[in-house]
Protein backbone atom coordinates (compact mmCIF):
# COMPACT_ATOMS: atom_id res chain seq x y z
CA UNK A 1 0.00 0.00 0.00
CA UNK A 2 2.84 2.38 0.75
CA UNK A 3 4.37 1.81 -2.71
CA UNK A 4 1.09 2.60 -4.46
CA UNK A 5 0.77 5.74 -2.39
CA UNK A 6 4.22 6.92 -3.47
CA UNK A 7 3.74 6.02 -7.14
CA UNK A 8 0.51 7.98 -7.54
CA UNK A 9 2.07 11.47 -7.23
CA UNK A 10 4.72 10.52 -9.77
CA UNK A 11 2.08 9.57 -12.30
CA UNK A 12 0.06 12.71 -11.64
CA UNK A 13 3.09 14.99 -12.12
CA UNK A 14 4.14 13.15 -15.26
CA UNK A 15 7.66 12.39 -14.03
CA UNK A 16 9.76 10.27 -16.44
CA UNK A 17 10.76 7.23 -14.42
CA UNK A 18 12.05 5.20 -17.41
CA UNK A 19 15.73 5.26 -18.40
CA UNK A 20 16.59 7.92 -20.96
CA UNK A 21 16.63 6.79 -24.58
CA UNK A 22 19.93 6.50 -26.41
CA UNK A 23 20.72 9.49 -28.59
CA UNK A 24 20.11 9.14 -32.32
CA UNK A 25 22.81 9.51 -34.97
CA UNK A 26 21.54 12.97 -35.86
CA UNK A 27 21.87 14.05 -32.23
CA UNK A 28 25.45 12.77 -31.90
CA UNK A 29 26.77 14.67 -34.95
CA UNK A 30 28.46 18.00 -34.12
CA UNK A 31 26.60 21.13 -35.18
CA UNK A 32 28.02 22.74 -38.33
CA UNK A 33 30.27 25.69 -37.69
CA UNK A 34 28.76 29.06 -38.53
CA UNK A 35 30.75 31.11 -41.01
CA UNK A 36 31.64 34.54 -39.62
CA UNK A 37 29.82 37.39 -41.30
CA UNK A 38 31.99 39.65 -43.39
CA UNK A 39 32.67 42.95 -41.73
CA UNK A 40 30.38 45.72 -42.96
CA UNK A 41 32.22 48.78 -44.22
CA UNK A 42 31.81 51.83 -42.02
CA UNK A 43 29.53 54.51 -43.51
CA UNK A 44 31.50 57.11 -45.37
CA UNK A 45 31.78 60.40 -43.50
CA UNK A 46 30.00 63.29 -45.19
CA UNK A 47 32.51 65.60 -46.77
CA UNK A 48 32.41 69.18 -45.44
CA UNK A 49 30.88 71.79 -47.70
CA UNK A 50 33.48 73.39 -49.96
CA UNK A 51 34.36 77.01 -49.24
CA UNK A 52 32.93 79.64 -51.58
CA UNK A 53 35.04 80.09 -54.70
CA UNK A 54 37.54 82.91 -54.66
CA UNK A 55 36.61 85.23 -57.53
CA UNK A 56 39.20 87.89 -58.32
CA UNK A 57 38.15 91.47 -57.79
CA UNK A 58 37.68 93.56 -60.94
CA UNK A 59 40.66 95.53 -62.23
CA UNK A 60 39.06 98.76 -61.07
CA UNK A 61 39.64 97.55 -57.50
CA UNK A 62 43.34 96.81 -57.90
CA UNK A 63 45.07 97.42 -54.57
CA UNK A 64 42.10 96.21 -52.53
CA UNK A 65 41.68 92.80 -50.93
CA UNK A 66 38.69 90.59 -50.12
CA UNK A 67 39.91 89.01 -46.86
CA UNK A 68 38.25 86.59 -44.48
CA UNK A 69 36.88 88.28 -41.36
CA UNK A 70 37.76 85.94 -38.50
CA UNK A 71 37.15 85.82 -34.76
CA UNK A 72 40.36 87.81 -34.32
CA UNK A 73 38.56 90.76 -35.93
CA UNK A 74 35.61 90.57 -33.52
CA UNK A 75 34.94 91.21 -29.86
CA UNK A 76 32.00 91.07 -27.44
CA UNK A 77 31.92 94.34 -25.55
CA UNK A 78 28.92 93.75 -23.27
CA UNK A 79 25.96 91.43 -22.86
CA UNK A 80 24.11 93.59 -25.38
CA UNK A 81 26.82 94.58 -27.89
CA UNK A 82 29.32 92.86 -30.19
CA UNK A 83 31.65 94.48 -32.75
CA UNK A 84 33.63 93.20 -35.75
CA UNK A 85 36.10 95.33 -37.71
CA UNK A 86 36.49 95.03 -41.46
CA UNK A 87 40.07 96.11 -42.25
CA UNK A 88 41.06 99.03 -44.44
CA UNK A 89 41.49 98.52 -48.19
CA UNK A 90 38.74 95.90 -48.32
CA UNK A 91 36.43 95.38 -51.26
CA UNK A 92 33.89 92.66 -51.90
CA UNK A 93 30.66 91.06 -50.77
CA UNK A 94 30.06 89.77 -47.24
CA UNK A 95 27.17 88.11 -45.40
CA UNK A 96 26.82 89.25 -41.79
CA UNK A 97 24.92 87.07 -39.29
CA UNK A 98 24.01 88.18 -35.78
CA UNK A 99 21.88 86.72 -33.00
CA UNK A 100 20.78 87.18 -29.40
CA UNK A 101 19.43 84.64 -26.92
CA UNK A 102 17.20 85.12 -23.87
CA UNK A 103 15.11 82.98 -21.54
CA UNK A 104 11.60 84.25 -20.83
CA UNK A 105 10.69 84.97 -17.22
CA UNK A 106 7.06 86.10 -17.73
CA UNK A 107 4.27 86.05 -20.26
CA UNK A 108 4.77 88.44 -23.18
CA UNK A 109 8.57 88.30 -23.24
CA UNK A 110 10.29 89.98 -26.18
CA UNK A 111 13.66 90.45 -27.85
CA UNK A 112 15.20 92.66 -30.56
CA UNK A 113 18.39 92.67 -32.66
CA UNK A 114 19.77 95.74 -34.47
CA UNK A 115 22.61 95.47 -37.01
CA UNK A 116 24.67 98.51 -38.07
CA UNK A 117 27.42 98.52 -40.73
CA UNK A 118 29.77 101.49 -40.72
CA UNK A 119 27.15 103.70 -39.09
CA UNK A 120 24.46 102.69 -41.60
CA UNK A 121 21.51 100.67 -40.26
CA UNK A 122 21.26 97.34 -42.05
CA UNK A 123 18.11 96.17 -40.27
CA UNK A 124 16.21 95.41 -37.09
CA UNK A 125 14.21 92.36 -36.04
CA UNK A 126 11.77 92.07 -33.13
CA UNK A 127 9.95 89.13 -31.58
CA UNK A 128 7.40 89.14 -28.77
CA UNK A 129 5.05 86.49 -27.45
CA UNK A 130 1.42 86.73 -28.60
CA UNK A 131 -1.78 84.94 -27.56
CA UNK A 132 -1.43 82.80 -30.70
CA UNK A 133 2.27 82.11 -30.05
CA UNK A 134 2.95 82.74 -26.37
CA UNK A 135 6.45 82.99 -24.95
CA UNK A 136 6.41 82.77 -21.19
CA UNK A 137 9.23 80.30 -20.52
CA UNK A 138 12.22 78.71 -22.20
CA UNK A 139 15.07 80.14 -24.25
CA UNK A 140 14.73 81.61 -27.75
CA UNK A 141 17.35 82.86 -30.19
CA UNK A 142 16.60 85.68 -32.65
CA UNK A 143 18.89 85.61 -35.71
CA UNK A 144 19.28 88.24 -38.45
CA UNK A 145 21.46 88.48 -41.56
CA UNK A 146 22.68 91.29 -43.81
CA UNK A 147 24.23 91.04 -47.29
CA UNK A 148 26.65 93.92 -47.90
CA UNK A 149 29.04 95.10 -50.60
CA UNK A 150 32.13 96.75 -49.11
CA UNK A 151 34.54 99.21 -50.74
CA UNK A 152 36.57 101.10 -48.15
CA UNK A 153 39.98 102.68 -47.64
CA UNK A 154 39.52 102.76 -43.86
CA UNK A 155 38.42 100.21 -41.26
CA UNK A 156 34.66 99.73 -40.91
CA UNK A 157 32.95 98.60 -37.71
CA UNK A 158 30.01 96.22 -37.82
CA UNK A 159 27.93 96.48 -34.63
CA UNK A 160 25.11 94.32 -33.31
CA UNK A 161 23.05 95.44 -30.32
CA UNK A 162 20.58 93.22 -28.49
CA UNK A 163 17.71 93.97 -26.12
CA UNK A 164 15.08 91.90 -24.37
CA UNK A 165 12.05 92.36 -22.10
CA UNK A 166 10.65 90.08 -19.39
CA UNK A 167 13.55 87.76 -20.04
CA UNK A 168 17.07 86.91 -18.91
CA UNK A 169 19.67 87.35 -21.65
CA UNK A 170 22.54 84.98 -22.29
CA UNK A 171 25.53 86.25 -20.25
CA UNK A 172 27.83 85.46 -23.19
CA UNK A 173 26.28 88.33 -25.13
CA UNK A 174 25.12 88.48 -28.76
CA UNK A 175 26.87 86.64 -31.58
CA UNK A 176 28.31 88.29 -34.68
CA UNK A 177 29.90 86.58 -37.69
CA UNK A 178 31.02 87.91 -41.08
CA UNK A 179 31.46 85.46 -43.98
CA UNK A 180 33.15 86.32 -47.25
CA UNK A 181 30.83 85.78 -50.22
CA UNK A 182 31.72 85.36 -53.90
CA UNK A 183 32.11 88.56 -55.88
CA UNK A 184 29.21 88.82 -58.34
CA UNK A 185 30.00 92.19 -59.88
CA UNK A 186 26.85 93.91 -58.57
CA UNK A 187 27.71 96.98 -56.50
CA UNK A 188 24.14 97.82 -55.48
CA UNK A 189 20.54 96.71 -56.04
CA UNK A 190 17.33 98.15 -54.63
CA UNK A 191 13.73 97.14 -55.32
CA UNK A 192 10.87 99.63 -55.26
CA UNK A 193 7.51 100.36 -56.86
CA UNK A 194 7.41 103.70 -58.75
CA UNK A 195 4.90 106.19 -57.33
CA UNK A 196 1.57 106.66 -59.01
CA UNK A 197 0.75 102.98 -59.49
What is 63-117 written as a DSSP string? Answer: T-B-----GGGEEEEETTEEEEEEPSSEEEEEEEEEEEEEEE-STT-EEEEEEEE
Position 30 scores a pLDDT of 57
Please name the helix (run of DSSP H) or strand (run of DSSP E) that holds residue 127, with its range, or none: strand 120-128
Looking at the 3D structure of the chain, how many domains does it have? 1
Residue 74 lies in a domain: yes
Q: What is the CATH number of the domain that holds 169?
A: 2.60.120.40
Residue 130 lies in a domain: yes
Residue 189 lies in a domain: no
pLDDT block averages, 10 residues each, the chain of length 197: 39 38 52 59 64 71 93 96 97 95 95 96 92 92 94 96 96 96 83 89
Burial class (CB in 10 A: 0-12, 13-18, 19+), 191: exposed
Residue 24 lies in a domain: no
Residue 127 lies in a domain: yes
Position 111 scores a pLDDT of 96
- d(CA 56, CA 92) in angstroms, rounded, equals 10
Residue 87 structural domain: 64-181
Residue 85 lies in a domain: yes
Residue 71 lies in a domain: yes
Predicted structure pTM score: 0.68
Amino acid sequence: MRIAYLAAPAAILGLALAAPAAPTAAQTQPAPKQQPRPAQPAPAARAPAPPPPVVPLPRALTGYAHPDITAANCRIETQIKAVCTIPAMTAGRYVITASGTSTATADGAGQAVVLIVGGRPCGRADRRGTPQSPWRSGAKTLTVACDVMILTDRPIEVVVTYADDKATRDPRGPTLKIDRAPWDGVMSAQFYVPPGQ
